[in-house]
Amino acid sequence: MIAVRDFTYTYPAAPRPALIDINLEIAPGQFVGVVGANGAGKSTLCYALSGFIPDFYRGDVKGSLSVAGRDLCKTPVAELAGEVGLVFANPFNQITGARFTVREELAFGLENLGRPRDEMVARVDEALRLTGLTELADRSPYALSGGQQQRVAIASVIVLRPKVLVLDEPTSQLDPVGAREVFETLDALTGEGATVILAEHKLEWIAAHADRVIALRGGRVAADGTPREVLADASAEELGLMPTRYTLAARLAATQGVVKRDGPLPVTLDEAREFFGGRQREGA
């Protein structure tokens, strides 16, 4: 589905590349979390994977990126709507304000593409269902909570039916309830076969929902594996990643001899239950 080969990108007038020698393959239907410290290159990777680099963000590009066989470096963003969609951190950057209701907002992009009315109605209804917005369809987007607005932003992209959905820290301005709404929506989308690539700082959410985690440092891929392999590794903190509370608790318990450490540390609540429930106390 997605292939990145020896990709290096430098913003105009920047003294050094933002991404360096990136090589990735992402299979259809994967939920991939992209993590790293501020400045690691997460947003830049999102822009590259959605075609905004180099079509919108100019600069020096080396290597190649492709989605479903389409070369992102040679295809204008306007032609990629059916292949890949980008959701920004702030839903206000995505909600047009040109329509009065959520339903009309979702139809706006399809209207611009000249889709038949019957097709628009069906696709809007589907997007509303997938994002849990059906009951809010006749509300103004500006009368919704932050989490609901972010779901509208996601729906406005998926109504175009892209094969890949790229999200750049979509929960950065949301409370836990709003973050939960967004992640539940993404779970529903991957359940329908979508490929999701999510740059995010909330590592406990990534650990609980992503199939795969890619960690960036200094514009390079520093780690790539399952959430447990990447986030519970001893080197995670060197990458600027704060361990989840479950990893910290398990590490402390192992250090103090409360449990025997004979396997990977947990990164989620379910893994922590298994870790503590399946370990014998020292001396027991």
* Packing angle, helices 176-191 and 117-130, rounded to 10: 120
Better-scored residue on pLDDT, 143 or 94: 143
Domain count, the chain: 2
CB 185 within 8 A of CB 158: no
pLDDT band at residue 281 using 50, 70 and 90 as cut-offs:
very low
Residues 214 and 268 placed together within one structural domain of the fold: no
Instruction: For 56-105, list the strands marked E by DSSP.
Output: 60-67, 70-71, 84-87
Q: Is the pLDDT of residue 80 over 70?
A: yes
Residues 181 and 260 placed together within one structural domain of the fold: no
pLDDT band at residue 174 using 50, 70 and 90 as cut-offs:
confident
| 201-241 residue pLDDT tens | 889 999 999 999 999 999 999 999 999 999 998 888 888 89
Q: With DSSP H G I counted as helix, E B as strand and the rest as coil, what are the percentages for the chain, rounded to 5?
A: 40, 20, 40
Residues 277 and 212 placed together within one structural domain of the fold: no
Q: How far is Cα 94 from Cα 65, in angstroms, rounded to an integer?
A: 24
Q: How far is Cα 263 from Cα 265, in angstroms, rounded to an integer?
A: 6
Mean residue pLDDT across the chain: 89
Q: How far is Cα 142 from Cα 136, in angstroms, rounded to an integer?
A: 12
Residues 208 and 284 placed together within one structural domain of the fold: no
Residues 166 and 247 placed together within one structural domain of the fold: no
What was the pLDDT predicted at 195? 93
Residue 122 is assigned to a structural domain of this protein:
yes
DSSP β-bridge partners for residue 65: 4
Residues 162 and 37 placed together within one structural domain of the fold: yes
CB 182 within 8 A of CB 209: no
User: Residue 32 is part of which domain span?
Assistant: 2-226
What was the pLDDT predicted at 237? 86
Report which of 194, 144, 163 is spatially closest to residue 31, judged by C-alpha positions.
194
**Mean pLDDT (whole number) for 34-44:** 94
Q: Percent of the chain scored above 70 by pLDDT? A: 96
33 residue type, one letter: G
What was the pLDDT predicted at 262? 66
Tokens 């370990």 label which residue?
A: 279
Residues 46 and 158 placed together within one structural domain of the fold: yes
Tell how strand 60-67 and strand 2-10 pair up: antiparallel
Q: How far is Cα 174 from Cα 108, in angstroms, rounded to an integer?
A: 25
How many other CB atoms are found less than 10 A from the CB of residue 106? 28
Residue 65 burial class via C-beta count within 10 angstroms: exposed 0-12, middle 13-18, buried 19 and up: buried
Residues 16 and 95 placed together within one structural domain of the fold: yes
Q: Is the pLDDT of residue 284 over 60?
A: no
Residues 197 and 253 placed together within one structural domain of the fold: no
**Mean pLDDT (whole number) for 86-114:** 88
Q: What are the angstrom distances between the C-alpha of 53 and each of 72, 77, 169, 199?
A: 8, 9, 18, 16
What was the pLDDT predicted at 213? 97
Residue 232 is assigned to a structural domain of this protein:
no
| 46-65 residue pLDDT tens | 999 998 998 888 899 999 99
CATH number at residue 179: 3.40.50.300
Residue 233 is assigned to a structural domain of this protein:
no
What was the pLDDT predicted at 123? 92
Q: Percent of the chain scored above 90 by pLDDT? A: 50
Nearest-10 Cα torsion for 153, 159, 164, 169 = 10
Residues 151 and 14 placed together within one structural domain of the fold: yes
Most confident of 86-95, 138-147, 248-257: 138-147
Q: How far is Cα 88 from Cα 50, in angstroms, rounded to an integer?
A: 11
What was the pLDDT predicted at 42? 95
Residues 36 and 115 placed together within one structural domain of the fold: yes
Residue 238 is assigned to a structural domain of this protein:
no
What was the pLDDT predicted at 261? 63
Residue 65 is assigned to a structural domain of this protein:
yes
Residues 54 and 128 placed together within one structural domain of the fold: yes
Residue 237 is assigned to a structural domain of this protein:
no
CB 43 within 8 A of CB 168: yes
| 249-278 residue pLDDT tens | 988 888 887 877 667 889 999 999 888 886
* Packing angle, helices 146-158 and 102-112, rounded to 10: 30
- Compute and round to an integer the Cα radius of gyration of the chain: 20
pLDDT band at residue 88 using 50, 70 and 90 as cut-offs:
confident
In sequence order, the 6+-apart residues with CB closer than 8 A to the CB of 130 are 155, 158, 185, 188, 189, 192
**Mean pLDDT (whole number) for 20-44:** 95
